[in-house]
Chain A
């Protein structure tokens, strides 16, 4: 099933002729323009005045109101800085926690011999049947009786124990070269030492892929923060944005600036880590 590089090259050259090159690039170009329209709208509106956004005639370019940025963060009614901070804390801790807990478990299930390891694995598999979003009511019942409503704990901890991420790590570690660990054991390292000194440093690509995906889904999560964040001080960026849509008490240009600011970090993460992300998705088929 492996296609070697020269074969691929050949294939591509041959298939270049299906559509004429011009037609091909025209089609891709138009599709790309359509895909970029929403980004254009965010940037245009974020740097415009309200009058320009709602004006009768379409303005192609904004008047570049850079002051909108400071206006957004100075506005006390919006508290967008607070929401950004909350989202950062939640997404970062969630990523670190998920990687730690799920990778350890995945490694244990894949590589440590234990009589009942298969039974434990089936317990994990069983949780994959039902998406966590469907069970948000029971989760909320539990978290609220723990008194974790409006806290970071409530936002982060219930999301750490992803059966799916654990499963992915297990699959990955099953394919990890055994020789490396055996060498470590000859050197007298136990499972724990071999894991941290040999396995993790040699698996950084995979960790980066899972980290990117976890970070993006933590940052973009909506339903759970909506349920947990009852008080505005515990709102994440997504909840703040949502309140703008439903209340419409804030000015247009601030709303769009807030949207731009909320998307920007992710676009950077995305562009810089795309290689690992693409690899990770292709390997695992998971969704961000």
Chain B
């Protein structure tokens, strides 16, 4: 996201470029046309993005149980409540653990697949499609397969069947939080769905690395394989890698679908931030004040992370981040 954002800001304003041109009364017409083209979108943006955000900031300072038009101002009580109650901080911990698993593994797997596919001469399109295909599957459908056929706690699941061939007992992957086998289920599911997508990004970036670099390295006596990978491929992929890592982090932050279906909101473990918001605002309490306070906190956190990472890593300046 931010990769392209920074570049967009850096581009010259389109308005200035075409000032010399207008004839046939186009210029007088331009303002009207501008609003004609952008108006519908902007109205929608205000109503469905800005109004809800403003409303929820307002709600977060009120006692808004079962109502969205509260009158009882409570100051920062909602924030205090949601931050001191251990559920919300716990969910941030869940996100951190999940991100620590899923970000490096997806990065490595998608880069690995891209490197493999990039070397293929026959059936390249076929293998690319196979790895890319899971992107079309919803997290819900995947959760269903994972829970009811791949990682069932009983014998008829594929994972336990395979373990059975080696004489290993059945593992209750999801119903028992200790040891936390559920991470295997959650991480493998997301790896399967999202790796192909990031593989496409890496493939595009790999094809933008100039061949001369490899030729020059060869002349300098670099061995093909690890040396060229370490000193040419990986540094050339820096901008793409950074963008991929940020996208992965943001995606993990919003994790909901597969956790909701595999772990459920009734469990006491592995509850993600969005699940906590869901329970606060739409659960039995219908506490829109606390739910809104949570949404404000999560939004602020993600803004800070996005801005900081954009600043530190200098997004979009890498040459191959096309």
Q: Which A residues are closer than 8 A to B by beta carbons?
A: 1, 3, 7-8, 10-19, 24-25, 27-28, 31-32, 35-39, 41-42, 45, 53-56, 58, 101-102, 104-105, 107-115, 117-118, 120-121, 123-125, 127-142, 144-145, 157-158, 160-161, 163-164, 166-168, 170-171, 174, 185, 188, 190-192, 195, 216, 219-220, 222-223, 226-227, 238, 241-242, 244-246, 252, 255-256, 259, 262-263, 266-267, 269-271, 274, 278, 281-285, 287-288
In the complex, the answer to whether A32 meets B127 with C-beta atoms within 8 Å is yes
**In the complex, which residues of chain A have a beta carbon less than 8 angstroms from the beta carbon of B211?**
3, 7-8, 10-11
Task: Decide: A127 near B1, CB < 8 A? Known: A24-B119, A108-B37, A285-B243.
Answer: no
Task: Decide: A185 near B26, CB < 8 A? Known: A37-B158, A105-B41.
Answer: yes
**In the complex, which residues of chain B have a beta carbon less than 8 angstroms from the beta carbon of A113?**
14-15, 18-19, 22, 27, 30, 34
In the complex, the answer to whether B56 meets A141 with C-beta atoms within 8 Å is yes
In the complex, the answer to whether B208 meets A3 with C-beta atoms within 8 Å is yes
**In the complex, which residues of chain A have a beta carbon less than 8 angstroms from the beta carbon of B302?**
129-131, 134
B77 within 8 A of A: no
Which residues in window 24-56 of B have CB below 8 A to A? 24, 26-27, 29-31, 33-38, 40-42, 44-45, 47-53, 55-56
Q: In angstroms, how far is the closest chain B Cβ from the Cβ of A125?
A: 6
Between A and B, 8 residue pairs with Cβ closer than 8 Å are: A58-B161, A108-B33, A135-B52, A138-B56, A141-B59, A188-B24, A242-B261, A262-B141
Give the 3 A-B residue pairs with the shortest CB-CB distance, closest first. A108-B37, A138-B56, A105-B41
In the complex, the answer to whether A124 meets B45 with C-beta atoms within 8 Å is yes
User: Bound complex: CA of A144 vs CA of B55, how far in Å?
Assistant: 13
In the complex, the answer to whether A101 meets B156 with C-beta atoms within 8 Å is no
Instruction: Report whether over half of chain A's contact residues are helix, strand or loop; otherwise say mixed.
Output: helix
Which residues in window 1-15 of B have CB below 8 A to A? 1, 3-5, 8-9, 11, 13-15
Q: Which of A41, A118, A192, A288 contacts B145 (CB 8 A)?
A: A41
- The chain A residue with its CB closest to the CB of B293 is A137
In the complex, the answer to whether B256 meets A266 with C-beta atoms within 8 Å is no
From B84-92, B99-107, B175-183, B197-205, give the one contacting chain A: B197-205
**In the complex, which residues of chain B have a beta carbon less than 8 angstroms from the beta carbon of A55?**
156
Q: Which of B14, B133, B150 contacts A267 (CB 8 A)?
A: B133
Task: Decide: A102 near B41, CB < 8 A? Known: A171-B4, A282-B204.
Answer: yes
User: Bound complex: CA of A10 vs CA of B213, how far in Å?
Assistant: 13
Which residues in window 91-130 of B have CB below 8 A to A? 113, 116-121, 127-130
Task: Decide: A105 near B40, CB < 8 A? Known: A137-B292, A252-B148.
Answer: yes
B138 within 8 A of A: yes
Contact with A along B213-243 (1 / 0, CB 8 A): 0100000000011000000000000000001
Q: Which of A36, A56, A138, A188 contacts B52 (CB 8 A)?
A: A138
User: Bound complex: CA of A39 vs CA of B294, how far in Å?
Assistant: 38
Q: Which bucket holds chain B's interface residue count?
A: 35 or more
**In the complex, which residues of chain A have a beta carbon less than 8 angstroms from the beta carbon of B8?**
121, 125, 167, 170-171
Q: Which of B14, B59, B282 contacts A109 (CB 8 A)?
A: B14
User: Bound complex: CA of A102 vs CA of B101, how far in Å?
Assistant: 36
Task: Decide: A245 near B119, CB < 8 A? Known: A105-B38, A135-B295, A255-B148.
Answer: no
In the complex, the answer to whether B59 meets A284 with C-beta atoms within 8 Å is no
- The chain A residue with its CB closest to the CB of B304 is A129
User: Bound complex: CA of A128 vs CA of B315, how far in Å?
Assistant: 15
B187 within 8 A of A: no
In the complex, the answer to whether A266 meets B49 with C-beta atoms within 8 Å is no
B298 within 8 A of A: yes
In the complex, the answer to whether A117 meets B136 with C-beta atoms within 8 Å is no
Q: Which of B29, B40, B264 contacts A101 (CB 8 A)?
A: B40
Which residues in window 242-272 of B have CB below 8 A to A? 243, 247, 250-251, 253-254, 256-257, 260-261, 264
User: Bound complex: CA of A247 vs CA of B316, how far in Å?
Assistant: 47
Q: In angstroms, how far is the closest chain A Cβ from the Cβ of B221?
A: 15
- The chain B residue with its CB closest to the CB of A167 is B8
User: Bound complex: CA of A163 vs CA of B191, how far in Å?
Assistant: 27
In the complex, the answer to whether B137 meets A266 with C-beta atoms within 8 Å is yes
Q: Which of B27, B48, B119 contacts A15 (CB 8 A)?
A: B119
User: Bound complex: CA of A56 vs CA of B25, how far in Å?
Assistant: 80
Task: Decide: A140 near B11, CB < 8 A? Known: A16-B121, A281-B200, A288-B135.
Answer: no
